[in-house]
Structure 1
Amino acid sequence: MANPIAGRGWGDRAANELHAGLKGLGIESELHLTRHRGDALDTTRARRDEFDLVASVGGDGTLREVFEGLGDDSVPVAVLPLGTANVLSIDLKLPRQAAGTLELVRRARSTALDVATVNGRLSFLVTGVGFDAAAVAEVERRRKGPITKWSYVAAVAAVLRSWKPVPLEVELDGQRVEGPVEGLFASNIVHYGGVLRLSDTRVLDDGLFDIYLFRDGRLPALAGVGLRGLFGKLPGGSCELRRARRVRVTSALAVPYHVDGDFGGSTPVELEVSPTRRRILVP
């Protein structure tokens, strides 16, 4: 399942190389090049009973559609990461060449991965409420082609000029969080956006997501959190870490949220870790 324009146009070539390599391993395979957003989801969902393995060639968005289409962990997924951030591939140290992905297939070593449902959408990376979601919304507003890391830099600069934090009401597993909260991450990753480093105590398959509570959403505090993240010092400062299976976020004023880097809308946000995991091939 390949996005042909991923990797600045290398997706098509990489997918064909992987397809040929699978045949070389004696594995019958079929190559599907996605044509639009949602194509990988629809195709995987319609044909999931026909597969013993799915290879996802592209970015985190393609992988999320494959995970959502499969619905459970009965079929493992091999990933050839070619997107902008490739967050999960950084966490798991996945190879970025077809030859390396073929070696993963040959070894057939896999791990389970928790996923969550966020307002009806699947999340396997991080859901953000607050400043980072406002930046994602700005990226979407400005988008005229493939997204690069510079797209996010420009979006963050634009949001900085007008950002005003809004108090959030947060419940974790039915218990109200006391004290101020002005931003939140619900995460199952360590490398946020390939830039910030979150806590390496994260467990991929413990049935919980790491919940980062940002007690102060003003720009000086967010700058401090960003610096900590660059050096792997989160949680700390105005950022607190908890863990939960269910998260509910509400606010008096609309606050933007994103799901794995795709703009989702505005609060309220309800997240629940799914009882059915996904399975991914690892080194």
Structure 2
Amino acid sequence: MTGTSGSAADPESRLSPARRLLVIHNPTAGRRQRRHLAAVLSELQKEGAEVRLWETASAGDAERAARECGSDIDVVVVAGGDGTINEAINGLMAREPSQPPALGIIPTGTTNVLSRDLRIPRQADALAPLLARGMMRDIHVGCANGRYFTLMCGVGMDAHIVSRTSLRLKKKIGKLAYVMQGLREFVAGVPRRYRVEIDGAEVVEASSVIVAKSRLYGGEFQLAPRADIGKPELQVCLFLRGGRLSTLLYIIGMGLGHLDHLPGYRTVAAKAVRITGHDGDPVQLDGDPSGCLPLEIGLGKRRLSVVAP
């Protein structure tokens, strides 16, 4: 077992035995992602970590792997994007609460918002020591209609974009596929209004709603600067005004980092949120389609351990 310099782990943690890891990955991922995974696995071997690989073949495989892996696994590591990570989180949260495995991340997907929020290093020589012996922290997850999330849950324009974006096009051009579908939604300009009940008290109407656990959105933008994944709290992002002009102002404000200064936008801290209106409208969860309205959102009953600096 060899030590490393410049490790993400603290000196005391390097003295502890290396962890037993289950690494969930997609064998058909692109060449660049496969190379990155191979580099991390090579560094994990140097760290003395015990690594088992689980290949995904279809949607739901990552959730099943996280839910069914044995008690001899210390960390379930996801090599993928936020959608695959969300699957694994739902699998981990479905386990019995007594000492479930922690979550680890090898960022390789189209977007890796959670890894950015947690400040997980991408470089193999920094990431491997973190996964093998590094620090752990607890985070609070959200729960929407029985499904867990760590980033956000949304209805309105962004949910329609997510639900209608071609998966084939997404694989070819990545984030640009969302931009193209967003332009279609903008041109269509379909008016929508939603009723948002916050903590059983305040009731607000909005054209779009995003309930955030993470401060980041889309990897680079901040919708909810006060959101903290480590706190048992939701941030309700309310786009109060509809129409093309307001939507354009929201997009510009988000791009410039001044969204919270716009008069038609506000955020509210909450523990529980109910969203109704346009029943059957799509819902997005951590950037993937996830059911439809009406929507009940709250906090997970327990915290989730993650490997993060």
TM-score normalised by L of structure 2: 0.83
Q: Assess, with a 3 A threshold, how the Cα gap between structure 1 residues 29 and 47 changes in structure 2: closer, same or farther.
A: same
Say yes or no: does 1:15 pair with 2:37.
Answer: yes
Alignment partner of 2:298 out of 267, 272, 275: 272
* CA-to-aligned-CA distance 1:1-40 (integer Å, 9 cap, x gap): 112344x333333333333332321221111121111111
- Paired residue type of 1:45: R
| Match of residue 142 from structure 2 | 116
Q: Assess, with a 3 A threshold, how the Cα gap between structure 1 residues 36 and 253 changes in structure 2: closer, same or farther.
A: closer
TM superposition shift of 1:141: 7.2
Tell which structure's C-alpha radius of gyration is larger: 2
| Match of residue 233 from structure 1 | 258
Mean Cα displacement is larger for which, 249-258 or 232-241? 249-258
SS at match of 2:248: helix
Q: Matched residues in 1 for 2:129 and 2:163: separation?
A: 38
- Paired residue type of 1:218: G
Q: Matched residues in 1 for 2:304 and 2:28: separation?
A: 25
The percentage of counterpart residues that share the same residue type is 30
Is the CA contact 1:60–1:87 (under 8 Å) kept in the aligned structure 2? yes
Say yes or no: does 1:220 pair with 2:242.
Answer: no
What value does the CA root-mean-square deviation take over the aligned residues? 2.2
SS at match of 1:77: strand
- Paired residue type of 2:26: N
TM superposition shift of 1:85: 1.4
Question: Where in structure 2 are there 5+ consecutive unaligned residues?
Answer: 1-23
- Number of aligned residues: 281
SS at match of 1:165: coil
* CA-to-aligned-CA distance 1:209-239 (integer Å, 9 cap, x gap): 1110111122211221222212222323211
* CA-to-aligned-CA distance 1:65-116 (integer Å, 9 cap, x gap): 2211112674222211111111112222222232221131255212222112
| Match of residue 281 from structure 1 | 307
Mean Cα displacement is larger for which, 185-194 or 159-168? 159-168
- Paired residue type of 1:3: N
SS at match of 2:137: strand
Q: Matched residues in 2 for 1:100 and 1:117: separation?
A: 32
Is the CA contact 2:137–2:308 (under 8 Å) kept in the aligned structure 1? yes
Q: Matched residues in 2 for 1:228 and 1:184: separation?
A: 16
Q: Matched residues in 2 for 1:154 and 1:146: separation?
A: 13
* CA-to-aligned-CA distance 1:179-211 (integer Å, 9 cap, x gap): x31110101112211242223322212211111
Q: Assess, with a 3 A threshold, how the Cα gap between structure 1 residues 59 and 252 changes in structure 2: closer, same or farther.
A: closer
| Match of residue 108 from structure 2 | 82
Is the CA contact 1:76–1:279 (under 8 Å) kept in the aligned structure 2? yes
* CA-to-aligned-CA distance 1:247-283 (integer Å, 9 cap, x gap): 1100156433211111124321111111212122223
Q: Matched residues in 2 for 1:25 and 1:181: separation?
A: 51
Say yes or no: does 1:157 pair with 2:179.
Answer: no
- Paired residue type of 2:92: L
Is the CA contact 1:78–1:101 (under 8 Å) kept in the aligned structure 2? no
Q: Matched residues in 2 for 1:268 and 1:172: separation?
A: 14
TM-score normalised by L of structure 1: 0.90
Mean Cα displacement is larger for which, 110-119 or 35-44? 110-119
Is the CA contact 1:19–1:30 (under 8 Å) kept in the aligned structure 2? no
| Match of residue 68 from structure 2 | 46
- Paired residue type of 2:148: L
Alignment partner of 1:182 out of 200, 207, 210: 207
- Paired residue type of 1:222: T
Q: Matched residues in 2 for 1:152 and 1:99: separation?
A: 32
TM superposition shift of 1:123: 1.2
SS at match of 2:25: coil
Alignment partner of 2:227 out of 155, 179, 202: 202
- Paired residue type of 1:244: A
Is the CA contact 1:165–1:182 (under 8 Å) kept in the aligned structure 2? yes
Q: Assess, with a 3 A threshold, how the Cα gap between structure 1 residues 77 and 144 changes in structure 2: closer, same or farther.
A: closer
Is the CA contact 1:190–1:199 (under 8 Å) kept in the aligned structure 2? yes
Say yes or no: does 1:136 pair with 2:171.
Answer: no
Q: Matched residues in 2 for 1:146 and 1:274: separation?
A: 35
Q: Matched residues in 1 for 2:135 and 2:286: separation?
A: 25
| Match of residue 99 from structure 1 | 125
Is the CA contact 2:273–2:296 (under 8 Å) kept in the aligned structure 1? yes
TM superposition shift of 1:144: 7.4
Mean Cα displacement is larger for which, 197-206 or 208-217? 197-206
| Match of residue 3 from structure 1 | 26
Q: Matched residues in 1 for 2:143 and 2:166: separation?
A: 22
